[in-house]
A = this chain, B = another copy of it.
Amino acid sequence: MSDDIDATPGHAAGAAGRRPQVVILGAGFGGLNAAMGLRKADVDVTVIDRRNYHLFQPLLYQVATAGLSPAQIAMPIRRILSRQKNAKVLMESVQGIDTASRAVVTDNSRIGYDFLVIATGARHAYFGHDEWEASAPGLKTIPDATEIRGRILTAFERAEATRDPDLRANLLTFVIVGGGPTGVELAGAIVELARKAIVRDFRHIDPSSARVILVEAGERVLPTFPEKLSAKAKTQLERLGVEVRLGAAVVRCDGDGVGLADGQEIAAASVLWAAGVMASRAAKWLGVPADRAGRVVVDERLHAPGLDGVYVIGDTAAVKGADGRLVPGVAPAAKQMGKYVARLIKAKLSGSAIEPFRYRDYGNLATIGRKAAVADFGWLWLSGLPAWLLWCFAHLFFLVGFRNRIVVFLDWAWAYVTFDRGARLITGREDR
């Protein structure tokens, strides 16, 4: 295939009556909300993503810990936009952007744009230690999640098979690097898996003897939360059985485990990485400056600097909030930016102006485990069971797709009653 999408009748360039072309890269929370916000606009919307599904990333850790199946947190992009007649979807990989002639270059085509919205998200990053990835996978995609799930379950299988006590201890030690929401969620879910879901399934090992160690370089977990909630989260993690090591910077990471800056070594067969993210290559595609985390520094209306009609949103953008702090890389922020850009494009087309983007922080939630979570609404802090129930309902509410909500709800209800995990599959490359 080497077709030029430009050549379709829909956007035969140059004609006077031609509808403005809006191209959106990425169908995460930002891109999808931008597309849906243009539903009634007199434009043609093309959403390009290299995957065919939108992923509900906040629940990805549950796929990684065998609680949910991938399809339960993923919806085909085409399906979501099926009824939006001015939108079409292309599953292609972006190779670059020709800003001079205003076209996106993918592996198969060249797509002209009048407005371009870049919402290509972020990947986990090792900040100069890419060689750590092989022994410490991160969690951003469905293949990441099934890889981690396979590693965790395989560690228990290998521990059951061996008679060597050192090897067994090594296999039953799980280190999670990074005390942000993902690290906290993973640590809590692995402990629960070991102590509840699989505890009776082995003969030679006691899965509940597994050690789960959360290693954080900073002085507290969940650093974006108020200090008091960080302390509550730590207590709740420890109550579940997680060992929390604060002020512990990782300086070595390989198949044997991790080494810390203070010289301590933690022997562990499984190391999971939740310590940082790097934005997608948007800044390189556009030839504009990026900040340290690879984000495009946009202006207060989310414009890429010096590029008319080009917007960068979500985890790919660095944008300051009203308080002067960077807007956090969370789903609600990406959604708000997507909606804002849709309004901005409509305003431009009608010749009006709109106010700068303003991030509205409706509160922060982080889950830790069964009946354990923290919630920060500024005026109200919650922890424990109330925060956890709130987290459950909020995530069900926002999970795209009515059907997925029912099925996920049933899975959670089942898991709550039985402690069972429904998706304990080890699948992998060699398993063909």
Contact = CB atoms under 8 A, between A and B. Distances in A.
A379 to B, nearest CB: 40
Given A70-B69, A410-B407, A157 B424 contact: no
B76 A424 contact: yes
A420 B403 contact: yes
B71 A423 contact: yes
Interface residues of A, number: 67
A350 interface: no
B161 A201 contact: no
Contacts of A78: 198, 201-202
Contacts of A108: 161
Contact of A53 (B143, B162, B418, B424): B424
24 contacts: A3-B162, A3-B163, A8-B163, A8-B204, A52-B157, A52-B424, A69-B70, A71-B423, A71-B425, A76-B201, A78-B198, A78-B201, A79-B201, A79-B424, A82-B201, A89-B160, A91-B161, A92-B161, A142-B425, A142-B431, A144-B432, A403-B420, A403-B422, A407-B407
Nearest to A158: B1
Interface of A: 1, 3-5, 7-8, 50-53, 69-72, 74, 76, 78-79, 82-83, 88-92, 108-109, 141-144, 146-147, 153-154, 157-158, 160-164, 167, 198, 200-204, 403-404, 406-407, 410-411, 414, 418, 420, 422-427, 429, 431-432
A413 to B, nearest CB: 11
Contacts of A146: 427
Contacts of A201: 76, 78-79, 82, 89
Nearest to A109: B161
Nearest to A411: B407
Counting chain B CB atoms within 10 Å of each CB, which of A52, A203, A414 scores highest? A203
Contacts of A164: 1, 3
B422 A71 contact: yes
A92 B8 CA distance: 54
Nearest to A74: B425
Given A82-B200, A161-B109, A141 B431 contact: yes
B71 A426 contact: no
Contacts of A72: 69
A92 to B, nearest CB: 7
Contacts of A51: 426, 431
Contacts of A143: 427, 431-432
Contacts of A141: 431-432
Contacts of A82: 200-201
Nearest to A66: B71
Nearest to A106: B161
Given A69-B71, A407-B407, A161 B1 contact: yes
Contact of A425 (B5, B53, B90, B200): B53
A427 B163 contact: no
A418 B181 CA distance: 36
